[in-house]
Structure formats: C-alpha cells, structure tokens
Structure 1
Amino acid sequence: MSSNVDDSGGNIRGGCGGGGDGNENNIVAALGFSASLITAAFQKIDTESTVSIDCKLGAGSISVLERVAIFTTTLLNDQPQNRR
C-alpha cells in the first residue's frame, strides 16, 4: 500500500512504505494543516465518528509514525529540529 497526501499548501507528503523499502508500517509526515488527519488515518481511526482530532505536533517539524503492534501506533516527534 502506498499513498501520497498533499494539503492545499503542498506541505504534507506521506507514504506507507515510500521509497520502495517494502515497509508498510512507517509513515513520514512533514507537518502542515492535515497532520492530525494523516495521523488518524494511519491509526485507522474512523474520523466521521470523532468530534475532534488534534495531535500536538511541532509546527514545521518532521514526524515519523511507526506501527509497532496491530492496535498500537507510536508517534516519534522528538527530532532535534522539534526541540525548543
């Protein structure tokens, strides 16, 4: 499964297994307007039944999401460029 998502500002590029590495358990997102929706989609959360989705992610940061178990997703947002 591979996908690219692009918000209207062209800020977000996400792909499961992008780069031809064959790993469908990782996604990299350069954060913008749609970061919370990409995170929810990666976690397979039904966004239609959710009142609000708001992931607290650093503006302009890069996050790597890794699916480590069938119902668990870890958000790694402790990159050096995200620290203030």
Structure 2
Amino acid sequence: MGTSEVATDERGRITIPKELRERFGERYRLVELRDGIKLLPRPDDPVAALRGAASEALKQASMDELRAEGLDEAQEQAGENVR
C-alpha cells in the first residue's frame, strides 16, 4: 500500500500508474468527500461483486424484506442526522 502523487494535465486528466491499473482495473467511480476526492474501482460485474460480498442471510432475503430493511436503515440514519 502506498501513495502516488499525480497532477492533472491541461485538459484536467489524471494518469493512473500502470501498476495500479493492473491491480484495480480501468474503470473508477469518482467520489466527492467533504475534504477531498476518492477513486473507487468499479467491478466488471457489479451485481456479482455485491452477491459475493453479501452475507448468507442477505442472499436469502426477498425483495420485500430488502426494501423494508433499507427503509428502516434510512429512517434510522435520518434520525441520527436531525438535530
């Protein structure tokens, strides 16, 4: 793990070093953070990547159960952010 210093060219492009492209792929999502930006590799098959990362309980859940759980989580997070 390390850091690389890069600069944009005259058109605003950044070149990702070859060894990082070979390790993480060619497609990335640019995420804006409060104090910077972050590049996240995009998997070739995002659905397969999600399935692989899911717990067995999540893999077995129905769409209705997933929606209900998502709504509960969103309401909980919204409540935490309301002052």
Give the TM-score normalised by structure 1.
Answer: 0.25
Higher relative contact order (CA 8 A, sep 6+): 1
TM-score normalised to the size of structure 2? 0.25
Which of the two has higher C-alpha Rg? 2
Greater share of helix: 2
- Which is strand-richer, 1 or 2? 1
